[in-house]
Amino acid sequence: MTEPLAEARPPRIRKPDWIRVKAPTSVGFAETKSLMRRLNLATVCEEAACPNIGECWTKKHATVMILGDTCTRACAFCNVKTGMPRAVDPLEPQHTADAAAELGLQHIVITSVDRDDLPDGGASQFVKVIEALRRTTPSTTIEILTPDFRNKAESAVEKIVAARPDVYNHNLETVPRLYPTIRPGARYYASLRLLESVKKHDPSIFTKSGLMTGLGEQRLEVHQVMDDMRSADIDFLTMGQYLQPTPRHAKVEEFTTPQSFNAYAAIARAKGFLLVAASPLTRSSYHAGEDFAKMRAARDAKLGKVSA
């Protein structure tokens, strides 16, 4: 007799070898973890169950997730917990800056949960974090990865851009056709406009956006998103394989091969991005420091300047 449970659950595609990562066991990993707990900081590395955590935390690269660990949205791809978030922690900006100083970060990535419950969506907390970092560790370059600030993006972007982060990142995540199922609380063109408005307010800030593959998108749809990004003047494209965090999340439709990532990267470069990172394990903040240096050098080369 067939076991009913085995029949009820659709088979998951087996992870290919190019996705496998080592378990995090290093001293650097343990130190990064204990610092984050001591400073009461959440990280997207842990909350999103990032496969690169062993590598990044060994090098003491962590991406701080501000505005708490509870998100007001419930995107089908994301492992971050959903619910009614706690009050904003007034110590979080200084704790984030202290973490950057203790970790010795030359470049830091700050992201957040969606806070649709706050009147400004959390924009002022991003500003406070940038200010605390500039005070505490002035040579650290700052990359922020923000939510879409639904219905308040204009004022949020204006406020954040005035604080002058070095890189403004906001992920489009997937092709527009898949938004209703994968990113139901968001609007593709609103996200695109947000990134465009960063450049309009301050063209010196680098803009960056990312896409996940393996959710059922078609190659030509991805090419179209690249064109849309270029018309919004986005400098840096990241692309990585979506991994299903739990059986409750959207399933992986396909594992994109390393060769296909290379093909996407070649097309994206031809479309004029300053920098492209595309590989199975690429994530928004993966190797962000090295990539920032490359992006700055690429812009300087384009402008005919000598890189600092």
**Contact residues for ligand SF4 (CB under 6 A)?**
44-45, 50, 52-53, 56, 61-63, 283, 285-286
Could you tell me the smallest distance in angstroms from the CB atom of residue 234 to ligand SF4? 19
Nearer to ligand SF4 by Cβ, of 64 and 153: the residue is 64
Other CB atoms closer than 10 Å to residue 31's CB: what's the count?
15
Nearer to ligand SF4 by Cβ, of 79 and 224: the residue is 79
Could you tell me the smallest distance in angstroms from the CB atom of residue 286 to ligand SF4? 4
Nearer to ligand SF4 by Cβ, of 62 and 132: the residue is 62
For residue 78, say whether it is annotated as part of any ligand binding site. Answer: yes
Within its chain, how far is the Cα of 15 from the centroid?
A: 22
Could you tell me the smallest distance in angstroms from the CB atom of residue 36 to ligand SF4? 11
Write out the chain in H/E/C secondary structure: CCCHHHHHCCCCCCCCHHHCCCCCCCHHHHHHHHHHHHCCCEEHHHHCCCCCHHHHHHCCCCCEEECCCEECCCCCCCCCEECCCCCCCCCHHHHHHHHHHHHCCCEEEEEECCCCCCCCCCHHHHHHHHHHHHHHCCCCEEEEECCCCCCCHHHHHHHHHHCCCCEEECCCECCHHHHHHHCCCCCHHHHHHHHHHHHHHCCCCEEEEEEEECCCCCHHHHHHHHHHHHHCCCCEEEEEECCCCCCCCCCCCCCCCHHHHHHHHHHHHHCCCCEEEECCCCCCCCCHHHHHHHHHHHHHHHHCCCCC
Could you tell me the smallest distance in angstroms from the CB atom of residue 195 to ligand SF4? 19
For residue 56, say whether it is annotated as part of any ligand binding site. Answer: yes
For residue 34, say whether it is annotated as part of any ligand binding site. Answer: no
Nearer to ligand SF4 by Cβ, of 45 and 192: the residue is 45
For residue 279, say whether it is annotated as part of any ligand binding site. Answer: no
For residue 139, say whether it is annotated as part of any ligand binding site. Answer: no
Nearer to ligand SF4 by Cβ, of 52 and 279: the residue is 52
Could you tell me the smallest distance in angstroms from the CB atom of residue 29 to ligand SF4? 10
For residue 209, say whether it is annotated as part of any ligand binding site. Answer: no
Nearer to ligand SF4 by Cβ, of 153 and 295: the residue is 295
For residue 50, say whether it is annotated as part of any ligand binding site. Answer: yes
Could you tell me the smallest distance in angstroms from the CB atom of residue 78 to ligand SF4? 12
Residue ranges of the binding site: 45, 50, 56, 71, 75, 78, 285
Binding residues for [4Fe-4S] cluster: 45, 50, 56, 71, 75, 78, 285
